[in-house]
Each structure stands twice: as C-alpha cells, then as structure tokens.
Amino acid sequence: MYFDPNEYLLNPFISFLNWVVVVGALTFVVLFVSMLNLLTTKGMSGIGIFFDELGGMAADLFQLSPRRIWALTRLTYTEAIRRKALAVFVVFGLLFMFAGWFMGDSKEIKPDQVKVYISFVLTAISWLTLPVVLLLCCFGIPEDIRLRSIHTVVTKPARRVEIVLGRMIGIWLIGCLVLTVMAIVGHFWIVRQIPADSQPLLTCRVPVYGTEMEFLDREGNSARSGVNVGDIWIFRSYIEGATKARARWRFIKVDESVLDSDGNLNFENSFSAFRSYKGDMTRPLFYDIKLYNPEKNLAYTTDPQPVNEFRHKLDKIPRKVTVDDVQYDILKDFVTANKDLLIEVSCIDREQYIGMARSDLFIRMPDRPFWMGYWKAILGISLTLLLITMIGVSASTMVKGPIAAVLTFVIYFLSLKDNHQFMDQLVFGQVQGGGFLESVYRLVMHLGPSAELPANPAFAVIQFFDWLLNNFLWLCRHVIPYSQYFNMPEFVANGFDVPLDTSIIPSLLVTSAFIIPCVVMGYFALRIRELESK
Amino acid sequence: MTNMTSQQRKLVYLIGIVVLLIPIIWLSLPSDGKDAPGGVLSQLRSQYELGEADLGDVDASSAAMNFALLGMRGMAVNVLWKDLDQQKDTKRWAEMQATTESIVRLQPHFEKVWDFNGWNLAYNTSAEWDAVPDRYYWVKQGAKFLKRGVERNKRSTELYYRTGKVIQHKVGYADESADYRKFFVSDPDPVFKNGPDPVVNPEAKDNFLVGREWFEAACVRELARPQHILDRSLFRSTPARCLFDYAQALQKEGKFGEETRAAWDHARKDWTESYGRETFHALIGPEESDIMLEMTAEEIKQQAGTPDDELRVRKAVDAYQKMTNYRYWRTRALAEAEPEMSEAHRFVFDAKQAYKAQEFDNARTAAFKGMEGFDKILKRDEYSSLTDEDILCEECLLGWKIWDDIYQVSGDKIPEEFPLKWLLQMKSDNSQIMGNVNKQFKRLFLDNK
C-alpha cells in the first residue's frame, strides 16, 4: 500500500508567506490586466478611470449589505434550480444503483478493498458535483447579460461586488446542497456494501509520524537511504538483516497523549519484505523495534515481530518495560529532555531485507469514527467547489460562458497533482528536451532529448522564447492552486483521519487566497465591460 | 431552403430522418428464429458467431458500460491500462484488481486481456507477497480470473489452456508447490472450513487432475479453433503430461503404494493409447501426411506408399517423438510400474527424511538401498534411455549425495565402488544436473519440507 501523508506537510510560517505571496500576486495580476484593458479601450484616460474604479470598489467594500447579498444569493439559487441543476441526481442514482456490479464480490472483502469502495463514492461525488457547479457559475452572468436580465439587478441599488459575491455564494450553496445529499446517500451505500464482520475496517486512524528518518548501512554508518533491492518503485528503502543496518525515526513532542487508554504505546507499521533467497517460506521475516535514549544510555528492544506485508501491523509497547531486571517508564526514561522519542528498527534474518519509508511507521493514537473522516473529506470537496465557483464566476464576468467554462476547467485540470508536478518539472528545467519551441524543433528534426543542438542564432532565438514562456509558466505555477491539499478523500480511503495541519488548513488557506483576487476581478469586469453587448 | 418557413424546414428534416431510417432498419432488423433470419447485420452476426451470447455468457454490466461509452471505449481502456501499470508498480493490489475488473468489462472478448491479467495475478502479483497463504490467494485469483474469461469466451481454446496452466504449473511447480498443493484441496482461508475453494476446485481433486480437465477441454476446442501457443503435438500432450505430473507428485510426497503405481499405469495408458494414437499432420516429402506417435511398423508401411516414403514417415514419427519426449515418458511409465523402481524411490525418500532428522546411519543405509535399486533398473537395456532425462537422474544423484555427504562428515573412508558410480561419472560434467542436485541437497537443511 502506498500513502505518504507527510508529502503534504507544511511549515506554518512558510505557508503563511506563500499565502501572502499568492494573494498579492493574484490581486496584482487582476489589477494589471484590468488597467491594461482600460488603457487599450479608453487610451490614457483609462488610468484615471482605473483609479476611480479602484476607489469605488474600496467604497463598495465598506458599504456591503448582507441583505442584498443574500437576496442575490437566493436569486442565483432559484435560477439554478430552474435550470434543472438537480437533474444530476438522476445520474447519481443510476451510478449508485449499478456500482456494485463493478466493485467485485463484497462477500470476499479484504481490508484493502474497503479503500476501493470509499474512493469510488468520494470520486463519484466529486466528479458529479464539479461539472454542475462549473456550468452554473460560468454560464450564469453571461446568460444574464445576453438576455439583458442583468439590467434588472444593476439598475437596483446593488453594488457590483455584491452581485459577484451573491453569485458565488448562491452557486456554492446549491453545490453544497447537491454534495450533502450525495454524501449522505454515499455514506449509507458504503456502510451497506461492507459486510457486518468487516465493518471495523471503516475507521479513521490518527497517526503521529516521525519528523525525521535516517538509515544506517550494514557497517553502522549513517546513510541517506537503505539498500535498493531493484524495485521500480523507490518509495521504500531496505535494511539488511543480521547486520548493523538500521532505520531510525525521531518522534517529537511525545507526551501522555500518545498512549492509549491502557497506557500502551502503539506503533503501527506497513513494512515490506524482500528475500535474497527464498529459504523457509512458511516462516515470515522478523524485525524488532528499539526505543533508545542516548542521554541516559538506555535502550529497550521488543521481541522479534513478523513482517505482515501489505497490511497494517500493530505493535503494542507497555508503558512500563523491563530492561536488565529494572523497570522503566517509557515516557519518563525514554523520552529525551526535548520530548523526542527515538526509535530504531532492524531486520533479524540474515541476508534478508525489510523495506520501509518514513510513513511506514507511526504512533497510532485512538481511532476516530469513520463518519468524522468521511465528512471532513466532503468538506474538502466543498472547498474545491467553492474554489471553482470563485474562479468560474469571476471568469464569466470577463468572457462568454463557454470560454469561461473552458478556462475554469483548464485551471482545475492543471491544479491536479500530476499536472501541477509536471508544471513544476517544466519550470525547474527537470524535463529533458528543453522548453516548448525546443521540443517542437527536436520533434521535427527527429532529435532525441539528450542530443546536442547546434549553436546558431536561430536556436538562440528559440531558447529566448522558451525562456519567456518558462517565466510565464512560473507565474502560472504560482497562481494555479495545488489541488492536492483538497484531496482529503485519499486520507479517508486509506483509513486515516483527515489531518488539520497537512490538509484542512492548507486547503482553507488556498481557498481564502482566491477570494480577494476573484472578487476584485469580477468587480472590475462588471464595471468596465459593456453590459449591452451580447 | 432559406425561403422555407420553420414548419416546412421541420417537415423536410422529418422526411430526411424517415428516409435514412429505412436502410438502417433494413440492415439491422433483428432475427426472429430460423424462419426470419433478420437483417444483413443479424445474418452476418449469426454466420460468424459474433453475438454476445455466441461468444460466451452475457454480462449485462459489461454490455451496458460499452454502450454508454459510445466511441470512447478505446480511450477509457488506454487510461485504465496506464492506471493498472502504475498501480502494479506502486503495489496497490486492491486497486489494481479493481482496474483489472474495469478493463475486462470494457474488453470482455479480447482474449489477450484475460490472458495477460490472469498471468499477472497468478505469477507476478503472487510473487510480490511474502506469506505463502497470501501468495496462494493471488495464484487462485489468477485462476479464477481466467476461469471467468473462459465463461465469457467459450470458444477460446487458449484461455482454457491458460487456466489449466496456472492450476497445473503454478500450483504444482512453484517453489511453494508443496504448500500450494495442500491449499488446493484444503484452502487456508477459514471461509472454506478446511475444504477447497469451490470456484477453482469444486470436487476437491488434486491440482494436476483439475489441470488435466482444463487441458482436455482446451484440446476439444482446439479441434474447432486452432491455438497459437505451442506446436500442436505438444499442446495435445498436456492432458496426458498432467497424469505424469500427478504420479510424480505422489512420489515426491512419499506415497509409494498401489495408488502411485496405478497413477503411473494410468498415465502410461493415456500416453500410449490415447495421446499416442492421435493423428498429426507431418510433412512427408513434398506433401502432408497423417502420422501418430505410437505407430507399428505395419501402420507405417500402410501410411507410406513407397519405400522412400516409409523412411520419411519413420523419420517424421521419430522427430515428433523427440520433440514431445515421447519415448522417455513411455519408458519411464513402464519402469515406474516395476516394484523395484517404487522401492528405490521409497528408499531415497526415507534417506531424505532421515537426513533431515539427523539420523545419519539410517539415512546412509536408505540412500545406499535406493542407489542399488536405481542402479539395477537403469542398467537394464529397456530402461537405459532413462538416463537421458534430467529429473530421474537428479533424484538418483541426490541419493548418492546424501550417502556421500554422510561419509564425508563422519570421516569414514568412501568405498571405491558403489552403485550409480557410472551415472555420477556420466553426469559430473553436467553443471545443470549437478547444480540442481546441490540445490535440492541444501534444501534438506531446512526443516519445513
């Protein structure tokens, strides 16, 4: 099983700085584009208009009326219902009626298969609600402008900011309504699909991960990683048995709260086994866990434990342990003065290997009920809806519906994990074969990505344009949100609770970062564009 | 057109629709039994047996999914294959299995899809797991998957063969085969209450006998639809070879009584009287002619018209016999029916058990008796050709290895002359045989087998 929640770990200070940078950059981009638009349409007088509008917007912000926003919200909501937005329930119903056919035999359910059920429900809900919201938010205002029904609003004492906010809130609310109904049905569907004896598999584990992990090689020297056993996937690193090879974790801020109700310290692992020879296949490979405190020169090692590959293995260590006939308290004697707990894992079997990654060993706190994680995942989806609504509504104030829909979809598509990572690779020059034009050149000339290119002026021009495009991409990379933070369903599907620090707070920050630029953009577009044009 | 009113335009559209519908209805008229064969498409479908029901069991969900995707099936399948590969690399087995399910729903009649994924589950995925029951679970999943493939593609010769191959080869010859074979009749999953998994083994039979049934079914289908896996003579030998596998497995598990002798006898009869009498097309001179692997001189003469052709037929039979190792298995089965041979096997088995239990005197005595038994059998003219085959030679030399090792360890002087010395001298340069003997000998140090 693969899941590394630490991948998304954020430093609070850096996160805040990033948030400030993103908000600032987005607002700047919006204002810059607005001013450019005014300059091209109105000439030099556009500068004056721009600053007048900026002042007007500031005045609007101080005179916002919740009553008017709510009225516009209700208007949007009613409009969406009339446009048959709720027809999506038909597709949802069909999907869930026949989903069981594609999910395999639920009588034979294995722990890992629960993940498939949860993933299916949460993915289906996401992919059904996102298009509804996308279409509603992108076609609402352009349609109002086309039918000129927007005049019935703008001629009222409603401010432009209120129109934009009312739209956003209205569409988000209808998205949330659809989402909530689907989530309730989805929850019952999951519970019903999982047989009664497998119900305990529906849980939310609460892990405490080690902040640092290091390896020791077979000589006992510090190493960046363990042994590579030839696996394509280099997520795990392996330690050799019956040598000085070790994997070490440091858990910080360890106190009473990590113990369970019986006072045990629970370590859960998902180590992997690799045999350099098969040997006795009926005998599993063994590891042991050592707790050590260098300050007191004290160490406690557990009995050898069998590796339970591709499953979770729980090792309970009692609070009171005996070392050389002397009883010690784990928290008092093994936790260092800095409240750190140091753990060392070794493989017992000679010439055999055990593989592990940082997230393969964690302290397991008392579990939380499944519904808690499930609804947090729904929160993640609702935040994605809000983000799309904001982008879609503000885009629809500037361009026509279909264009706004394509633009919003492309931004969302680029925000997905793999796409964002590819963008990162392009920006940081990690993709072989150069930038856009260079790649085209290589394709046309049948040159491999590692082939040397001729040093001539034409190629210098290509590289210059690629440099420009790359810088534009750098800007896009900072403006396009990283939707992986919103991917809370992945935690729940893997049986974990959705953590506050690595998922909920980052997604809230990203969403809030878009509020100001999107509202500003919507306001400017409605102020400066010709509402008479169809 | 521009001068037409809206109503007129709609009327024109309607007429156009009706006109286009006529050929479509004519082409796709459904069949209504023999009297009314239906439209052209229906007739062609029946002629080439391309209807869903003709190909195998109908899966409503699969058909619905393909219909709903319209022309996007290819794209969806590509994405799923990409996901499958990634899930396999990142060891997300449950997701990989779910993706596999989706792929076969989209490509239910693409036999290679069933073949590839069945193999992937039984051979690749099982090898990724460490615990033997877990490995067996995935082997079983592969066999079950292929079985479903057969149900969806009943005319497929190759899928029957592949299912048989997993049950015969993976269960019977993997490194963990001793456990797998036990699990095949007594599944480790408590759900089956010490019985077999009824999906793969409904009658609690030995894996080689179940494998044989699948191979037999494949051979029946092969008559109507050729396969492209093996030469036909080898393909059709698979049911009979399963009986040899079964008999050998009984010996390996220490069963040397009447049951084992009967198994060898059954295998021999099947080999010579059933498989040996099957006809194969061989190139005799410029033309093809029918030959059998078990042909008398008279039959050869009859088959060939001229003396020249007689020589050619003889050569062709010889070539086919060599390709299928026919004579070896015939001789081996005859030899195994001899009580002396059975005793020799028993002594070597006893020697292995005693060696594991560190009863070295008993092991040395049993190994020597086994060597004597094999020596006598292999020196007989009718069985001398058995030394050409590795498996039996390895067993003989393992007996010698145990005997020799006990002498080495105890420090006793090794006798100058001993049974099978000639075989040892003959095979000592054969690194593959000697390597296998050493490997098997080392495994005796493991106390589990």
Question: Each residue of A470-481: pLDDT tens digit?
Answer: 888 887 887 788
- B216 and B161 in contact (C-beta within 8 Å)? no
Radius of gyration of chain B (CA): 30
At B336, the amino acid letter reads E
Which of the pair, B402 or A312, is modelled with greater confidence?
Answer: B402
Indicate the length of chain B as a whole number.
449
Residue B141 near residue B121, CB atoms below 8 Å: yes
CA distance A381 to A511: 12
Give the mean model confidence (pLDDT) for residues A5-11.
Answer: 54
A440 token code pair: 């085209």
Cβ-based contacts of B134 with chain A (< 8 Å): 309-310
- Using CB atoms within 10 A of its CB, is residue B194 exposed (0-12), middle (13-18) or buried (19+)? exposed
CA distance A158 to A138: 21
Distance between CA atoms of A428 and A438, rounded to whole angstroms?
16
Q: Which residues pair with A265 in a beta bridge?
A: A259, A317
- The answer to whether residue A217 scores a pLDDT higher than 90 is yes
Q: Judge: B130–A284 Cβ closer than 8 Å, yes or no.
A: yes
How far is Cα B132 from Cα A229, in angstroms, rounded to an integer?
21
**Reported CATH class of domain A236-356:** mainly beta
What is the crossing angle of helices B111-119 and B93-106, to 10°?
170
The b-or-e profile of A14-26 (16+ CB within 10 A means b, else e) is: ebeebbeebbeeb
Chain A touched by B182 (CB under 8 Å): no
Name the DSSP class of A501.
Answer: I
For residue A272, the SS3 value is strand
* SS3 at position B282: strand
Which chain A residue has its CA at the smallest distance from B86's CA?
A233
Distance CA A392, CA A140 (A): 10
Contact B187/A at CB under 8 A: no
Whether the CB of B94 is below 8 Å from some CB of chain A: the reply is: yes
pLDDT of residue B229: 94
Phi-psi region of B432 (alpha: psi -120 to 50; beta: other; left: phi over 0): alpha
Predicted pLDDT of residue B206: 96
Assess A98–B contact: CB distance below 8 Å, yes or no: yes
CB A511 within 8 A of CB A518: no
More confident residue, A245 or B67: A245
Q: Give pLDDT, residue B19.
A: 93
Interchain contact, A116 vs B92, CB within 8 Å:
no
Cβ distance B61 to A101 less than 8 Å, yes or no, reads yes
| Residue A436 pLDDT > 90 | no
Closest Cα in chain B to A352 = B130
Q: Is A289 helix (H, G, I), strand (E, B) or coil?
A: strand
Q: Which of residues 105-124 of A touch B (CB under 8 A)?
A: 108, 110, 112-113, 115-116, 119
Q: In Å, what is the CA distance from A193 to each residue of A101, A186, A199?
A: 11, 10, 10
Of the candidates B395, B403, B405, B402, the one whose C-alpha atom is nearest the C-alpha of residue B427 is B395
Tell me the chain B residues in contact with residue A309 when contact means C-beta distances shorter than 8 Å. 129-131, 134
Query: Which positions 72-91 of B are in contact with A (Cβ < 8 Å)?
Result: 89-91
Partner residue opposite B102 with nearest CB, options A102, A115, A309: A102
Rounded Cα gap, residues B175 and B169, in angstroms: 11
Give per-residue pLDDT as tens, A352-386.
999 999 999 999 998 899 999 999 999 999 999 99
Dmax over CA atoms of chain A, in Å, equals 89
Domain with CATH 2.60.120 in chain A: 236-356
Which residues in chain A have Cβ-Cβ distances shorter than 8 Å to B97? 104, 113
Q: Does A235 touch chain B (CB under 8 A)?
A: yes
Give the residue with greater pLDDT, B313 vs A11: B313
A280: nearest CB among B92, B95, B448: B448
In this complex, which of A2, A281, A284 lies closest to B90 when CB atoms are compared? A2
User: Mean pLDDT, consecutive 10-residue segments, chain B of 449 residues?
Assistant: 82 93 84 71 76 63 66 87 91 87 88 94 94 94 95 92 97 93 95 93 96 96 93 95 95 88 93 94 81 90 83 90 93 89 91 90 94 93 87 91 92 89 92 90 67
Question: By the 8 A CB rule, do A5 and A493 touch?
Answer: no
pLDDT band at A427 (very low <50, low <70, confident <90, very high): confident
- What CA–CA distance (Å, rounded) separates A3 from A505? 20
pLDDT on residue A59: 80
Q: Is B356 on the interface with A (CB under 8 A)?
A: no
Instruction: State the Cα angle at A47 between A41 and A48, rounded to 5°.
Output: 115
The shortest C-alpha distance from A495 to chain B (Å) reads: 14
Please tell me which residue, A510 or A301, carries the higher pLDDT value.
Answer: A301
Which residues in chain B have their CB less than 8 angstroms from residue A108's CB? 191
Beta bridge partners of A434: none
Q: Quote the tokens at residue B336.
A: 């195994």
* Alpha helix segments (H runs only) across A399-494: 401-415, 417-427, 436-445, 457-479, 488-493
Beta-ladder partners of A287: A305, A347
Q: A104-109 long-range CB contacts below 8 Å, 24 or more apart? A: A104/B97, A104/B98, A104/B101, A106/A193, A106/A194, A106/A195, A107/A195, A108/B191, A109/A194, A109/A195, A109/A198, A109/A201
The answer to whether B176 contacts chain A (CB < 8 Å) is: yes
CB within 8 Å of chain A, chain B residues 104-143: 105, 129-132, 134
For the whole prediction, is pTM greater than 0.90? Answer: no
Nearest CA in chain A to B104: A102
* B89 contacts A232? CB cut-off 8 A: yes
Task: Please identify which residue in the block is written with the tokens 């797991």.
Answer: B129
Q: Which long-range contacts (CB under 8 A, 24 or more apart) does B198-205 make?
A: B199/B140, B199/B144, B199/B147, B200/B140, B200/B143, B200/B144, B200/B147, B200/B167
Instruction: Nearest by CB to B93, from A98, A307, A310: name it.
Output: A310
Q: With CB atoms and an 8 Å threshold, state whether A1 touches B91.
A: yes
pLDDT above 50: residue A222: yes
- Any B CB within 8 A of A307 CB: yes
Of B39, B43, B13, B44, the residue nearest B24 (C-alpha): B39
The SS3 of residue A275 is strand
Tell me, what DSSP letter sits at residue B124?
A: I
Element (H, E) at A168: helix A160-193
Quick check: B64 and A98 CB within 8 A?
yes
Amino acid B66: pLDDT: 66
Cβ–Cβ below 8 Å for A101 and B134: no
> Among A3, A97, A101, which would you mutate to test the B interface (most chain B Cβ atoms within 10 Å of its Cβ)?
A101
DSSP state of B417: -
Is B93 in contact with A283 (Cβ distance < 8 A)? no
Beta-strand relationship, A265-269 and A361-369: antiparallel
Residues in a beta bridge with A365: A206
Residue A515 has pLDDT above 80, yes or no: yes
Asked whether residue A171 carries a pLDDT value surpassing 80, the answer given is yes
How does the average pLDDT of chain A come out, rounded?
84
The answer to whether residues B400 and B427 touch, using CB atoms and an 8 Å cutoff, is: no
Residue B122, min C-alpha distance to chain A (Å): 17
pLDDT digits (tens, 9 = 90+) for A319-337: 999 998 999 999 999 999 9
Which CA distances in Å does A94 have to A83, A100, A510?
21, 11, 34
* Side-chain half-sphere exposure of A127, counting CA atoms within 13 A: 9
Q: ipTM of this predicted complex? A: 0.76
- pLDDT tens digits for A56-94? 777 877 777 888 888 888 888 888 888 777 777 777 777
Contact B131/A116, CB-based, under 8 Å?
Answer: no
- In this prediction, residue B38 carries a pLDDT of 76
- Whether residue A307 is predicted with pLDDT greater than 60 in this model: the reply is yes
Nearest by CB to residue A116, choosing from B90, B94, B448, is B94
**What digits encode the pLDDT tens for the residues B277-286?**
999 998 877 7
**Residue B354 distance to chain A (closest CA, Å):** 19
User: What is the C-alpha to C-alpha distance for residues B161 and B119, in angstroms, rounded to an integer?
Assistant: 12
The residue of chain B with its CA nearest to that of A310 is B129
On the question of pLDDT at A431 being above 70, the answer is yes
Predicted confidence band of residue A1 (pLDDT cuts 50, 70, 90): very low
Candidates A53, A184, A174; CA nearest to A125 is A184
Hey, how many other C-beta atoms are within 10 angstroms of the C-beta on A445? 10
Q: Which residues of A touch B91 (CB under 8 A)?
A: 1-2, 233, 272, 310
Chain B residue closest in CA terms to A307: B130
* pLDDT score, position A120: 82
Instruction: Kindly write down the DSSP assignment for every residue of B216-280, as one continuous string.
Output: HHHHHHHTTS--SSS-HHHHTTHHHHHHHHHHHHHHHTT--SHHHHHHHHHHHHIIIIIITT--E
Our measurement of the distance from residue A361's CA atom to the centroid of its chain's CA atoms, rounded to an integer in Å, reads: 22
How many angstroms separate the CA atoms of B229 and B161, rounded? 9
Task: Please give the structure tokens belonging to residue A493.
Answer: 């599907």
Q: Quick check: A101 contacting B, CB < 8 Å?
A: yes
pLDDT category of residue A105 using cuts at 50, 70 and 90: low
Mutate to test the interface with A, among B95, B121, B130, B187 (most CBs of A within 10 A): B130
Q: Does residue A214 register a pLDDT over 50?
A: yes
Q: Contacts of residue B102 in chain A, CB cutoff 8 Å?
A: 102
Q: What pLDDT was estimated at residue B407?
A: 92
Q: Which domains does chain B have, with CATH numbers?
A: 6-48 (no CATH), 62-229 (1.25.40), 247-337 (no CATH), 338-449 (no CATH)
**Under the phi-then-psi rule, with left for phi > 0, alpha for psi from -120 to 50, and beta for the rest, what region is A433?**
left
Q: What is the pLDDT of residues A21-56, one digit of tens each?
A: 767 777 787 778 778 877 888 788 888 888 887 787
Non-local (6+) Cβ contacts of A330 within 8 A are A265, A291, A300, A317, A318, A319, A320, A321
Q: A122: part of which helix (H) or strand (E)?
A: helix A111-147
